[in-house]
Amino acid sequence: MCGRYATSRSAGDLSALFESSDETGDAVGPDFNVAPTDPVPLVRLAPEGHRLLSVGRWGLVPHWSRSAAGAARMINARAETVATSRAYAPSFARRRCLVPADGWYEWVRDPDGRRQPYYMTPVDGSVLAFAGIWSVWEPAGAALLTFSVLTTAAVGELAEVHDRMPLLLPRERWASWLGPADEPAALLAPPAPEWLAGLEIRPVSPAVGDVRNDGPALTARVPLAREEDVTEMTLF
């Protein structure tokens, strides 16, 4: 799954990177420890067809839901079933979005039982785009924009950290993800190994495990506790 990530770019930077107009106002700020139900930026298509930078709450609430109480369990949608799931299929068919990120976190339990967090991020510092789907929930007329991040089977060395990973979209796939769902299978394909080779798997501080912690120090490389574990993890 993808249950924690970082997004630090400003609304202006994201609007430029994703060639989108901005409706976020002052609602976008750096967050190095995004957790379920947090409000974060996403890019979707406006009704007029142009890209729109919006703020959505992480954890999709289907429009028919009576309550938003289960949103924290709806942060991820599996690529294998998103097109047929009652909760996710309508959004996959008509409401796909890009979720900007600097990188994401996963935890690995070592032989001593300690949980070591790792941060997956582009080596060159470029932006990531997670494949997402969105919906608007309108209890008593108050519209709430919510979203889920799609996950797929982890590829290569990423599978040593977790068996799932976010569905990552290279820049050349942004337009097709946001456009008509003419070929669903192609939309849900994982990125090529050559593209994934640009990611690093970075050990980071256990402080990221507390959602109250924030700041760029959470993404900084730290030495591993056991000497035999201190090996550079690079993809492919």
- Tens digit of pLDDT for each residue in 158-212? 999 999 999 999 999 999 999 987 888 899 999 999 999 999 999 999 999 999 9
Find the catalytic residue in 106, 138, 227, 232.
Answer: 106
For 89-215, strand residue ranges (E) read: 96-101, 103-109, 115-122, 128-137, 144-153, 164-166, 199-203
CATH of domain 4-234: 3.90.1680.10
CA–CA separation, 3 and 75 (whole Å): 7
Q: Enumerate the H helices of 101-198 as residue ranges.
A: 174-178, 184-187, 193-196
Q: What is the pLDDT of residue 232?
A: 41
Sequence letter at residue 204: V
The predicted model scores a pTM of: 0.92
Query: 85-97: buried (b, 16+ CB within 10 Å) or exposed (e) per residue?
Result: eebbbebbeebbb
Find the catalytic residue in 2, 138, 200, 232.
Answer: 2
Residue 83 and residue 89 in contact, taking contact as beta carbons nearer than 8 Å: yes
Look at residue 233 and tell me whether its pLDDT is greater than 60. Answer: no
Residue 106 a catalytic site member: yes
Q: What is the pLDDT of residue 181?
A: 78
Residue 200 a catalytic site member: no
